[in-house]
Structures are given as C-alpha cells and as structure tokens.
Amino acid sequence: MQKPSERIIAEEKIEAKSDPGPASDQTTNDPRVDQALGIFGNLSALEVKPGDQVGAREILSTIGVRRPKNNEFLRVDPERSLTTVVYTDEVEGEAYFVAPHLRPIMIAGCTAKLLVLAVNQAGVPFIWPVPTDDETQRKNAWNESARAGFHRAKIDWVKLVGDRVAGQYRIFLAEGELPAPRFPDKPFSELLAIAFNNRLIDNEGHHVIKAMRGLTV
C-alpha cells in the first residue's frame, strides 16, 4: 500500500507527462500557423550573409571619361577602343568628343586619344583617354608611362600612381588574386554614346567653340 507522500509524487509525475506545455509548442505542426506565418515560416531560408549580393541588373546611365585614379586597380578591354580626337577642358577637367566636321575649326585643346573601355576592381566602368604614340609630338614621360600601364592592363590588374617628382606614372601590380574584370555587356558605340551624352561638340554654336572664338557664351 502506497504512503500518502508517494501517491502525491506519482500523481505529479502523471500530470507532468500529460502537460502539453506552452501554447506555442501545441501549434508547431499546425498548418494554420504555417499559413499565417507565410514567408516567415522558414527563417533559415531568408537569412543572408553580409557579403551576399542581392540580384539586380544595373542600367548604365552615366560612364565617366577620365584617367585612372591613384587608389584603384584597373583592367582594359582593347577590343573596345577607338582612336579619335578629344577636346580636354583643363580648367573643368572635362573631356569632349569632337565631331569630324568641326575639328578643323577647333583652335586649341584637341588631341588624338585612344578611348578604351576600362573597369576598376569594384566593377565600375569608365572610358580612359590614353595618349597616343604620335611620332610628331615631343616625348613625354607621362604619356609614355600611361601607355605602358595601358598595355599591362590588358592582362593584369594594375594601378597607376602619379609621381610629380619623376614626372611620370608609377605602375603597380595587384599582389592578390582579384576576380576577373566585369565589363559591361554592351557595344562600344553604345557605351561611348552614354559617356559623351552631354559632352559632344557637334555644332558651331557649342559653348566651347564660342568661347574659343571670343563670342558670347
């Protein structure tokens, strides 16, 4: 025969086994709860790591026309390049594309450049006006070192750092294994149209030509 104390302990154990626990445990496998939670029913499927990329397709609305910066590595696509005439506004630092029929009347500032598609390690594309190797021009260490950097950037990630004391660019190779360059999947003609959208000298009324002639801008 059980003692009163033993009977009380036995009853407590039975109650503990039959206790369903918190309400949330009761609804764990309830399809109505899953339906109410919807997309948040499986949090592990929604979790991302800080470095994960969100899927999106960029629409290129602007492309810079500039020299490489001191703090970036770059690669070039020599298949997408064009040797042509460019006007550079040294004050504003802007490069303009000059239409062929207006080149004879441009007084100064026009030079032949190799416009080449470049991209930096962050995947940002730009048009690099590389100085051309013109035998009629005076030798220039800046231009020669820029061309050397351009040729090396065809196969390696390079950084061009201006050295004013030496009067040239110093060329550095990336020490790490940078990923393959991500060039825009667009024809070069379309990229040039985007780059020079607001910097196209195509008529005599353009403010650059009027300023050269001393006319009111």
Both 151 and 78 in a single domain? yes
CB 194 within 8 A of CB 111: no
Provide the whole-model pTM: 0.71
């080449």: which residue's tokens? 116
pLDDT, tens only, 47-99: 777 766 566 666 778 999 999 999 999 999 999 999 999 998 887 778 999 99
User: Domain for residue 22, yes or no?
Assistant: yes
Residue 36 lies in a domain: yes
92 and 159 fall within a common domain: yes
At residue 92's C-alpha, the angle toward residues 90 and 93, to 5°, is 60
- 23 with 74, same domain? no
51 assigned to some structural domain: no
Residue 93 and residue 18 in one domain: no
Please check whether residue 57 lies inside any domain of the structure.
Answer: no
Q: Is position 23 within any domain?
A: yes
Residue 18 has pLDDT above 60, yes or no: no
Query: For the residues 40-52, what does the mean pLDDT come to?
Result: 75
Structural domain of residue 29, as residue ranges? 4-41
CA atoms of 23 and 53, how far apart (whole Å): 38
CA 43 to chain centre: 32
202 pLDDT above the threshold of 70: yes
Q: What confidence score (pLDDT) does residue 8 get? A: 54
Do 163 and 126 fall within a single domain? yes
Half-sphere exposure of 67 (CA within 13 A, CB side): 18
The pLDDT of residue 171: 97
- What is the pLDDT of the chain when averaged over all its residues? 83
* Tens-digit pLDDT profile for residues 165-177: 999 999 999 999 9
Start-to-end CA span in the chain (Å) = 114
Verify that 114 and 28 share a domain, yes or no.
no
Say what the pLDDT of residue 25 is.
44
96 and 23: one domain?
no
In a domain, 162, yes or no: yes
pLDDT value at position 66? 94
Whole-angstrom distance, CA of residue 135 vs CA of residue 95: 23
Is 173 found in the same domain as 114?
A: yes
Q: How many domains does the chain have?
A: 2
Instruction: Let me know whether 26 and 112 are in one domain.
Output: no
Examine residue 18 and state whether it is found in any structural domain, yes or no. yes
pLDDT of residue 27: 47
pLDDT-derived band at 12 (thresholds 50, 70, 90) equals low
Q: Output the pLDDT for position 24.
A: 45
Q: Dig out the tokens for 191 from the structure.
A: 């990229």
What is the model's pLDDT at position 16?
53
Residue 46 belongs to some domain of the structure: no
Most trustworthy range by pLDDT among 2-6, 61-65, 154-158: 154-158
37 and 115 in a common domain: no
> Do 92 and 34 reside in the same domain of the chain?
no
**DSSP classification of residue 68:** P
Q: Do 128 and 189 fall into the same domain?
A: yes
